[in-house]
Chains A and B, each alone.
Chain A
Amino acid sequence: MNSSDEPPRPSRRRVLAGAAGMATAGLAGAARANDANLPPNVAPWSKAMGDGVAVRPYGHPSPFEKDVIRRDVQWLTASRESSVSFTPLHQLDGIITPNGLCFERHHAGIAEIDPHDYRLMIHGLVDKPLIFTLEDLKRLPRVNRIYFLECAANSGMEWRGAQLNGCQYTHGMIHCVMYTGVPLKLLLEQAGLKTNAKWLHVEGGDAAGMNRSLPLAKALDDCLIAYRQNGEMLRPEQGYPVRLVVPGWEGNIWIKWLRRIKVGDEPWYTREETSKYTDLLENGKARKFTFEMDAKSVITSPSPQAPVKSKGFLVISGLAWSGRGKVSRVDVSLDGGRNWHAAKIDGPVLDKACVRFYAETEWNGQELLLQSRAMDDSGYVQPSKDDLRKVRGVNSIYHNNGIQTWAVKASGEVENVEVG
């Protein structure tokens, strides 16, 4: 780690001048203003100069935002190398996830790859097996696309009832960034597909050798070989230097640290697409190749980690997305799904990307049962948890897109609840 990776430290002068402010920074919600900095007084930052340019060569968030971080749930998995951390959705707005806050899911830890030693191999049912360097990939025509990536197990802990208190934990296995990369179709054309090509085996270079079978039709439709997120190179946690982007489909198939694409004529039935990422139903049979992430939404504020702080005017805010197309509408309910009102969507509405929605209300301490319901341009409507359980039972772990309920109490505290 070089010095530019360290979060900025306030200068000595500022520590001395603003000690009271810094001391309470860690208490976040409990922080109180320092009267010495409030009008009519003049705060030290209005009198003394601060850091100059390039003192912070790679900018980091303010030290006062140090609670805005990915978090994990340690009892979920046996080790942190094969585990997940969650995006702090309750502390974000808009649709773009900052690179350092994108949730992580690794199966054998982060592969740290020197870009000079990176190679992507394409072989199998092709005319010319090829190897690309990172520089090769960067020379090819590229596109920029904003897509959400949701783990199929997002909300998987909630199938049997409300369990985790916070949208970071119930819905935080999602992020939405702009990718820059080469269309997979273009790369496959360089190798030349044989006429019997139908499936691809896509494989990561990590110590799990993460591998999945990808139907060729999807590969030729909208998949990308991405090397940038939000303009900068992919973060190591997100597959640096190259990952597969499979818009709208479950995150497990978005292979990180992509090292190899083998073209074949049938699927491989890898461990990840059989013993994992299959949806076990009540009758003991399981759906396989359930790739699309159905329309889903969640209210990010208020939510258990983001309680209501004031009576009066209240903006309810959330995220919605669909793996089947564009979000066409989001409804919000304050009474547990009995009555619904269309929310306002603000910002870009893009294919297979997150949208941001808002609903405004007056809150005077009454108890609320907040819900949101997403619809997409295929006509799909996000189902209630009970309707989903009627079809799927409670064993499937994956693809839980049921409507979330937050109970707002008179104190402003918010809790994850089940309703019936």
Chain B
Amino acid sequence: MSRWGERFRQSWILRAASGSVRSRESGNPVPCEAALGPRFRGDERKLWLAAIVLLLMNLSAPTLAQSPKPQNYNIGSPATQEQIAGWDIDVRPDGQGLPPGKGSVRDGEQIYLERCAACHGEFGESAGRWPQLAQGKGTLASHEPVKTVGSYFPYAASVFDYIRRAMPFGDAQSLTNDELYAVTAFVLNLNDIVDDKFVLSKETWSKVKMPNEGGFYDDDREAAEKAFWNSNPCMKDCRPPVKITGHASVIDVTPDDKSIRKGGVE
């Protein structure tokens, strides 16, 4: 969600606590008889069953396949190289998927001012609530982290691939390859990742080093949050008496909803 972070501010009787749990498995196979349906009754049903048994015995006739084993259904058409080329737009950090072409920081500036700056700001500082693209270095460990291309994105591919498929917002996939390289080069330049003379292309791709490439590590919740696995959680007198420390109504950012009657009891 774009920049939600910046909006952050900030004795009774319990009955019938039986804890009983009914469990049903999804995906049970439907019994064969049920599949025939209620329409078939008595003799008619017997005739149908006999017919199906005869069919099953005759190997040249269609059979009912029950096995989920790997099977080729001969469904789907071969994708041609031309068809694939039209949709194959993803780009990986190692440069796999990069199109032909090139673009300079200087050319990128012109394109950026025309097609991007209205939302992202002339210097990538953001206009209004749209994503900020530049600045923010050194803020990630603070309580006001600013996540930008320069401060947070780990790879140039994360930027390039996104612009290629999704930008400009509302006119996606409209940039030429040269324009795409150029505007990416300019956004990198806004973040002091490449110099003013830089030309981005397949050949210069590996020269781009993103400052926060080392800022990520694989999900370690099962180790780091091991304490959350507990087969015997506390049920009684688990903490001292509780005090209210914050109220959503004080912040008052919830949309008005006239259907809600605030006071409950009449």
Contacts and interface: CB of A to CB of B under 8 A. Distances in A.
A132 B76 contact: yes
Classify the interface of chain B: helix, strand, loop or mixed: loop
B197 interface: no
A288 B219 CA distance: 6
Interface string B235-266: 11111111111111101011101011111111
B107 interface: no
A77 to B, nearest CB: 6
B61 to A, nearest CB: 20
B92 A274 contact: no
Interface stretch (B45-53, B65-73, B175-183, B200-208): B65-73
Contacts of B234: 340
A361 B12 contact: yes
Given A190-B76, A208-B165, A76 B247 contact: no
Contacts of A144: 26-27
B44 interface: no
Contacts of B64: none
Interface stretch (A41-49, A227-235, A379-387): A379-387
A392 B130 CA distance: 26
Give the interface size bracket for A toward B. 35 or more
A29 B261 contact: yes
Interface stretch (A14-22, A51-59, A96-104, A277-285): A277-285
Nearest to A375: B233
Contacts of B155: 269, 274
A165 B250 CA distance: 10
Contact of B218 (A67, A157, A163, A289): A289
Contact of A288 (B26, B73, B217): B217
Contact of B248 (A163, A270, A350): A163
Interface string A136-149: 10011101111000
A336 interface: yes
Contact of B75 (A132, A278, A335): A132
A35 interface: no
21 contacts: A108-B169, A130-B76, A136-B76, A144-B27, A159-B8, A161-B251, A165-B254, A260-B87, A268-B91, A285-B140, A289-B218, A292-B221, A337-B239, A339-B238, A340-B236, A343-B19, A349-B22, A360-B14, A369-B242, A380-B229, A413-B264
Interface of A: 28-30, 67, 71-78, 81-82, 84, 107-108, 121-123, 128-132, 136, 139-141, 143-146, 153, 156-157, 159-166, 169, 189-191, 201, 203, 207-209, 211, 259-260, 262, 264, 266, 268-271, 274-276, 278, 280, 282-292, 294, 302, 304-305, 307-311, 326, 328-329, 331-332, 334-351, 353, 358-363, 365-366, 368-369, 373, 375, 378-381, 383, 387, 391, 394-395, 397, 407, 411-420
Q: Which 7 A-B pairs have the closest CB atoms?
A: A412-B264, A209-B165, A336-B242, A307-B264, A284-B141, A29-B261, A418-B246
